[in-house]
């Protein structure tokens, strides 16, 4: 539960990055995945009071209505202006039919009690038989209609983003009138995802890294090699933490920001939110940053297998879903030379 209520609203200078449409996204936000009902609303309110100006939501999280009540209250009080808060949401997997996209977006806007989203993402590359391009065309119309400022994707492999029509799910960019501005994917020192991030940066897409603390409660982490600690307890993370007088979460958040990704750690207590926010404005020395870039253990923690791997579905195994990026983030035969993301 949230431990205390923050009394006063603060302004904190969080670094931002300009997107390919000219808008700027704060590099630290509050994630709401797994934030429980009855807790998430107060967490969002306290986060805004502490100085957060980036809130990450999704229909799939089933808590947007509570987040919306908080946003309505805060904006009505006038302590924080709507235009000063970056709000992201995501298209649910069941709504990829072009005829459902606009209504799904409007439903999200109703739940969040706002008139326009700063960013709307295709949450997963689950699509109709025509491929994601038909869904993307409906996403573009959301921008045309003023419901959304920015559109992007989440959990797309490089192959599914490429312009080459290798299969039904690889044609998004070649059919895009409005190019994706953001890709949201897993990213932390135990799964750096450099291949995907390098591709996105090369093609003008900003990357938001979810699970920046390594998702220690994920099924993949539970079934990890027992000789590998959870990321927060990794000896190197602990060493850097003690060296700079930071906690392990601050080290991991700073690492994510310093490599140019925005990060959206979930937190519901004021102590954790405040500590995470403080990580936005310190500089990790290059030698420590580089050491974290080369942690040997690499494993995708959020692999989607429980949700999408079905004998009757388009993805029958993890390779179908991630196109050989499922384990280390690198497809077989790809050179790693020159793709260290900084």
Residues annotated as catalytic (active site), given as ranges: 61
What CA–CA distance (Å, rounded) separates 118 from 88?
Answer: 6
What CA–CA distance (Å, rounded) separates 250 from 17?
Answer: 20
What CA–CA distance (Å, rounded) separates 209 from 184?
Answer: 6
SS3 of 333, please? coil
Q: What are the Cα distances from residue 260, in Å, to 58, 175, 257, 291? A: 23, 27, 5, 17
The partner residues of 153 in beta bridges, in order of sequence, read 122, 183
Would you say how long the chain is, in residues? 342
DSSP state of 317: S
What CA–CA distance (Å, rounded) separates 178 from 298?
Answer: 33
DSSP state of 72: H
DSSP one-letter string for 82-112: GGGSEEEEEE-GGG-SHHHHHHHHHHHHHHH
The partner residues of 121 in beta bridges, in order of sequence, read 90, 152
14 φψ region: left (φ > 0), alpha (ψ -120 to 50), beta (else): beta
The partner residues of 88 in beta bridges, in order of sequence, read 56, 119
Is position 72 annotated in a ligand binding site? no
Annotated binding-site ranges: 123
Annotated binding-site ranges for substrate: 123
């Amino acid at each position: 539960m949230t431990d205390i209520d923050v009394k006063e609203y603060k302004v904190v200078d969080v670094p931002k990055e300009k997107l390919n449409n000219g808008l700027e996204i704060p590099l630290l936000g509050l994630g709401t995945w797994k934030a429980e009902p009855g807790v998430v609303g107060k967490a969002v309110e306290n986060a805004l009071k502490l100085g957060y100006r980036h809130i990450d939501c999704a229909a799939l999280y089933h808590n947007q209505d509570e987040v919306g009540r908080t946003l309505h209250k805060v904006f009505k009080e006038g302590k924080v202006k709507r235009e000063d808060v970056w709000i992201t949401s995501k298209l649910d997997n069941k709504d990829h039919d072009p005829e459902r996209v606009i209504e799904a977006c409007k439903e999200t806007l109703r739940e969040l009690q706002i008139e326009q989203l700063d960013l709307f993402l295709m949450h997963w590359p689950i699509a109709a038989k025509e491929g994601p391009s038909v869904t993307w065309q409906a996403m573009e119309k959301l921008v045309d209609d003023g419901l959304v400022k920015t559109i992007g994707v989440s959990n797309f492999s490089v192959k599914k983003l490429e312009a080459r029509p290798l299969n039904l799910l690889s044609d998004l960019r070649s059919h895009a009138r409005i190019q994706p501005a953001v890709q949201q994917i897993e990213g932390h020192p135990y799964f750096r995802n450099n291949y995907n991030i390098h591709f996105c940066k090369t093609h003008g897409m900003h990357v938001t890294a979810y699970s920046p603390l390594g998702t220690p409660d994920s099924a993949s982490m539970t079934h990890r090699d027992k000789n590998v600690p959870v990321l927060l307890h990794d000896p190197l993370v602990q060493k850097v933490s003690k060296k700079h007088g930071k906690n392990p979460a601050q080290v991991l958040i700073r690492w994510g920001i310093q490599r140019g990704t925005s990060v959206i750690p979930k937190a519901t207590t004021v102590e954790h939110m405040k500590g995470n926010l403080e990580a936005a404005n310190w500089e990790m020395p290059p030698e420590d940053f580089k050491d974290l870039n080369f942690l040997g253990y690499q494993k995708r923690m959020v692999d989607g297998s429980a949700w999408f791997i079905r004998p009757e579905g388009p993805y029958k195994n993890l390779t179908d879903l991630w196109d050989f990026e499922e384990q280390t983030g690198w497809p077989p035969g790809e050179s790693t030379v020159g793709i260290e993301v900084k």
